[in-house]
Amino acid sequence: MEADVSRAEPAEIMHDSGLEGPGSGEACASCELDAAGGESSASSHASSAEGAAAAPVVDLAESRARIDEIDAHIIDLFQRRMRISRDVAAYKKATGMQVFDKAREDAKVARARELADDEFKVYMAPLFDLLMEMSRSYQDNILAHDTQLARDARVVGRAEFPASARVAVQGVLGAYSHIAATELFNEPEVSFLSTWEDVCDAVESGAAEFGVLPLENSTAGAVDRVYALMRSRGLFIVRAATMRIEHDLLAKPGVSLEDVHEVFSHEQALRQCEGFIAGLPGDAVASVRANTAMAAQAVANSPRRDVAAISSAACARIYGLDVLAHDIQDEGDNYTRFVCVARKPALYGAPTTSSFLIVTPHIAGALHRVLARLATLGINMTKLQSRPIPGREFEFMFYVDVQCVPGDEAFDAMARQIPTLCEVCRYLGSYEEVSC
């Protein structure tokens, strides 16, 4: 017969482990001395404290042995609970019930708090939240939901990343997206387009096989318009590249820093160099251009000699400009992450990262349940980016990066389970991360 450890009284545990409660052992020697008019209370208690520090009051090995014994019972009880949970899953499948039953789980936590001693009540909610999350994950795995994500994952195949391809980028010759494309492909056939929307159109229509888009910067943050395109277009990320960005201030030959009154660049580059612009001697103002390379081109074509561009050293060579100042970004470690998108998902090279767009129900704890499920499945999340949902006030969608890919056991379990916790769960692709 198993020991009923759940009903053991705290006093019994203290006694068995060698711990004595108040009044259970000998009286404090210093108190007896005080009563007899002996040494002062402060002095004797200090001496007693020193003695306590010198001699442990518990046998650590014995305590750990007792904990190990209790843990063995916990493991047995947990497995029995999960086997019953399997029966519950079968019932829910037969009757069409949802796995998550909020009323039932709230009642379970409330009951656990009632049964627990006062000092342990605070731990009941996280304990039972974890137990019930593992039970839900087990049930979802048994039910084997055929979600859209699971279907998408099944058709993703491995392929060799092409050395040459038709690649669309936004901007002109020398743009950072152009540089990223030349790093991603050995011999890209690059087409330069006016906007990021045009890049997506080219890929969707088949005019380009791939598109290269800047997704986020380590200083200025996410590129919101590109995130919006990832949400609205049916494209997939097939590779990602992180490139160190070194901004230079470019101007026509013979122009000095003191001559500059207006600085052209992309809004992200201007944001990354705000401190430098503010320190220019000519009280220069910032002027937004569609692209850093287009800013350099505009300076080269302008009749004015009081304008400069924040761009790259490559653009200085391309457009015949001088570098007035090098590496001018406010943060020395300034990186931009570019994504290569295609019409269909594919596993090129050695992919390690998968991306998703999710929308959770607008109720308390909805996002927590998604994150808890990832933790239960042992999946490492490397990014969680929130974005407002258009037309839904103060509601948000989330972009999630995780370190697993189709074919991994954890990914396949996630593909069946995570969509059941979300209103929307859209697969954005699995890919290799490279550094330029």
Residue 338 structure tokens? 């570019």
Least confident of 43-52, 79-88, 297-306, 324-333: 43-52
Question: Above 60 in pLDDT, residue 276?
Answer: yes
Q: Are strands 347-348 and 158-159 parallel, antiparallel or unpaired?
A: parallel
- Residue given tokens 């494309």 in the structure block: 181
Asked whether residue 206 is domain-assigned, the answer is no
Closest-CA residue to 293 (of 271, 316, 275): 316
Same domain, 396 and 409: yes
Question: Above 60 in pLDDT, residue 354?
Answer: yes
| Contact between 234 and 314 (Cβ < 8 Å) | no
Domains in the chain, number: 3
- The pLDDT, as a whole number, for residue 133 is 92
Average pLDDT estimate for 309-317: 96
CATH number of the domain bearing residue 402: 3.30.70.260
Asked whether residue 33 is domain-assigned, the answer is no
271 is in an annotated binding site: no
Of 143, 175, 192, which residue is a domain's last? 143
Question: Above 50 in pLDDT, residue 295?
Answer: yes
Average pLDDT estimate for 233-237: 94
Same domain, 286 and 302: yes
Average pLDDT estimate for 329-345: 93
114 is in an annotated binding site: no
Backbone dihedral region for residue 25 (phi beyond 0: left; psi -120 to 50: alpha; all else: beta) = beta
289 is in an annotated binding site: no
Asked whether residue 47 is domain-assigned, the answer is no
CATH number of the domain bearing residue 83: 1.20.59.10
Residue range 92-146, pLDDT digits in tens: 988 989 899 989 999 999 999 999 999 999 999 999 999 999 999 999 988 888 8
136 is in an annotated binding site: no
Asked whether residue 114 is domain-assigned, the answer is yes
| CA–CA dist 244, 237 (Å, integer) | 20
- The pLDDT, as a whole number, for residue 222 is 87
- The pLDDT, as a whole number, for residue 146 is 86
Q: At what angle do helices 124-143 and 366-376 cross, to 10 degrees?
A: 70
Looking at the chain, the whole-number percentage of residues with pLDDT higher than 90 is: 71
64 is in an annotated binding site: yes
Asked whether residue 383 is domain-assigned, the answer is yes
Asked whether residue 197 is domain-assigned, the answer is no
Question: Above 90 in pLDDT, residue 152?
Answer: no
Of 118, 143, 168, which residue is a domain's last? 143
Task: Kindly tell me the sign of the dihedral angle through the C-alpha atoms of 381, 383, 389, 392.
Answer: positive
105 is in an annotated binding site: yes
92 is in an annotated binding site: yes
Confidence of residue 364 (pLDDT cuts 50, 70, 90): confident
- The pLDDT, as a whole number, for residue 58 is 82
pTM over 0.85: no
Asked whether residue 365 is domain-assigned, the answer is yes
Same domain, 117 and 153: no
Determine the structural domain holding residue 70 and report its residue range.
58-143
If DSSP states are collapsed to H, E and C, what string results for the chain?
CCCCHHHCCHHHHHHHCCCCCCCCCCCCHHHHHHHCCCCCHHHHHHHHHHHHHHCCCCCHHHHHHHHHHHHHHHHHHHHHHHHHHHHHHHHHHHHCCCCCCHHHHHHHHHHHHHHCCHHHHHHHHHHHHHHHHHHHHHHHHHHCCCCHHHHHHHCCCEECCCCCCEEEEECCCCCHHHHHHHHHCCCCEEEEECCHHHHHHHHHHCCCCEEEEEEEECCCEECHHHHHHHHHCCCEEEEEEEEECCCEEEECCCCCHHHCCEEEECHHHHHHCHHHHHCCCCCCEEEECCCHHHHHHHHHHCCCCCEEEEECHHHHHHHCCEEEECCCCCCCCCEEEEEEEECCCCEECCCCEEEEEEECCCCCCHHHHHHHHHHHCCCCEEEEEEEECCCCCCCEEEEEEECCCCCCHHHHHHHHHHHHHCCEEEEEEEEEEEEC
Same domain, 66 and 138: yes
Residue 306 structure tokens? 């009081």
Residue range 46-92, pLDDT digits in tens: 555 554 455 567 899 999 999 999 999 999 999 999 999 999 999 99
